[in-house]
Chain A
């Protein structure tokens, strides 16, 4: 079963939920694998202190022009939607950082003068934290093709029965890439005006992608407020309310697991996992 943890708003506790839920599952004896798909700012490893068995660079194909074979017809530059090529009388220039790796230029070149060559997107680290299998992607600073690295992270083979994906925040295409093909999405929100606004955006996305989902309210307050009312009005499943506790916040701040800082939080995550095991897997 593949479960993504996402959020419209950043900082609501996505990584906290993903890490603690995956750990709760692993400690219950299941085979579990956590993928950190927030490749621009991966943070799960700060809580898990994983041991890596393998770290490797991920590349994306970018055109290299054989200037001797090039006839300067300009077909490649004309086709490129991303302005990554410029065909001049004396040379054809390539701008790799604008390239989206669509392959159009080397397909269209009448002289077969263009060949794909890898350029670095970032790296993937693969290992484990105790019984929990762990994979993390980290984007090269300045790189633009975020979804391509996320695809590579998700493609890392796993034998685990339970796969959790820590998604990037927001609702744009890196999140779409992460959520694509999952069985269930956990939307983490907080009971604030900003949290509610951004939860609504996230709900639009998962509905558009036709994915089953539920809500976790982090830093929940004693009295239910607008976020709870919204969930009720929309008919959304609230799988958990995790109350704000300064001691837990401090423990998490220092890289600890919330479930270890507070037994009540531990029980909550175990209960959420049990809830997930009872849901049907979408074929």
Chain B
């Protein structure tokens, strides 16, 4: 089984559209949408929900207003400004915790002299297994304001592996999160291969450098493709130079294609919507290049 993670560093470069295209081209696979903050992969198709489960991570403090005596120790000790009390302008009751600010450290819970603070598990989202036209999709949503520590990403990946193992399919295709933080780390570590999707802009190049560093740090071999390359030949050249310097194989230059948005609106991949456009040809060539690179390598995965 091979795991391909598609990342970008910069958001909006076209990761999800590339994953959707590969899903239309690959034979047998499980899809994982690890952009749990703003998942979009389920929008490209009309998947049927098969399984859902709620997701807890850490705890959140809750002060019982009936027990609270207003000593203010909790507010003193809280390092996250999550507790407000009577002398704050907007408070009318005893001390209370703002859940969006609460870090879940438990310090107030531990040190409250009355034991007025409970510490329930924090539900922070849900994950799902759906059946999409081309294959199964594991995805998730994080509640707004939740901490995106990567735990949800890890769960989505693990479920995708489990599913791929039980279905005996050779590919797990991961739509990675943007950025270079914890969620990306959780998506990249242990992956077999990464495809870094960039765009020809200063920001695109800047963030490509950071995500390339991250992939290298975790020992994940990386390939690069430039989306909407024709929007700036100058920046495309600079990105190509960067790839040469870092010995990162550049496997595709996808031209800007207005039909991408139409395909999105029509809820299908570009391959299904406009198979003869140039961008679709490049995506096909990219997928075949990936297949060639990975054929014959050890596909056994723990």
Contacts and interface: CB of A to CB of B under 8 A. Distances in A.
A229 interface: no
B38 A8 contact: yes
Interface in A79-94: 79, 81-82
Contacts of B38: 8-10, 169-171, 197-198, 201
A264 B147 CA distance: 40
Interface in B229-265: 231-232, 234-235, 261, 264-265
Nearest to A169: B11
Interface stretch (B164-172, B195-203, B283-291): B195-203
B84 to A, nearest CB: 13
Nearest to B148: A172
Nearest to A78: B110
Contacts of A204: 144
A156 interface: no
A98 B102 CA distance: 17
Contact of B147 (A81, A173, A208, A253): A173
B184 to A, nearest CB: 9
A205 to B, nearest CB: 4
Interface in B101-119: 101, 103-107, 110-111
A137 interface: no
A26 to B, nearest CB: 21
B213 A141 contact: yes
Contact of A208 (B10, B58, B145, B264): B145
A69 B180 CA distance: 39
Given A81-B104, A253-B201, A40 B148 contact: no
B280 to A, nearest CB: 18
A11 B107 contact: no
B210 A193 contact: no
B213 A194 contact: no
Contact of B203 (A15, A142, A208): A15
Nearest to A207: B144
B96 interface: no
B100 A209 contact: yes
Interface stretch (A101-109, A128-136, A235-243): A101-109
Contacts of B180: 40-41, 139, 141
A41 B201 CA distance: 14
A12 interface: yes
B181 A79 contact: no
Contact of B217 (A41, A142, A176, A250): A142
A192 B62 CA distance: 40
B37 A172 contact: yes
Contacts of B10: 10-11, 41, 43
B235 A254 contact: yes
B226 to A, nearest CB: 11
Interface size band for B: 35 or more
**Which label, helix, strand, loop or mixed, suits the secondary structure of the B interface?**
loop
Contacts of B37: 169-172
Contact of B202 (A173, A176, A193, A255): A255
Interface residues of A, number: 54
B79 interface: yes
Contact of B144 (A108, A141, A171): A171
A144 interface: yes
Contacts of B235: 253-254
Given A107-B77, A193-B43, A204-B144, A144 B182 contact: yes
Interface string A9-29: 111100100000000000000
B3 interface: no
Given A10-B12, A144-B181, A253 B148 contact: no
Contacts of B101: 176, 180
A260 B58 CA distance: 48
Interface string B200-236: 1111101100100110010000000000000110110
Contact of B210 (A141, A146, A246, A254): A141
B142 A172 contact: yes
Contacts of B146: 172-173
A79 B12 contact: no
Interface in B131-161: 142, 144-149
B185 interface: yes
Interface of B: 9-13, 16, 37-38, 40, 43, 58-59, 77, 79-80, 100-101, 103-107, 110-111, 142, 144-149, 178-182, 185, 199-204, 206-207, 210, 213-214, 217, 231-232, 234-235, 261, 264-265, 267
22 contacts: A10-B11, A11-B178, A11-B199, A41-B9, A41-B206, A43-B206, A43-B207, A79-B107, A82-B105, A141-B210, A144-B149, A170-B38, A171-B37, A172-B145, A172-B147, A173-B145, A176-B101, A193-B265, A201-B38, A249-B231, A253-B235, A254-B234
**8 tightest A-B CB contacts, nearest first:** A11-B12, A10-B11, A102-B105, A253-B201, A253-B232, A170-B37, A172-B148, A43-B203
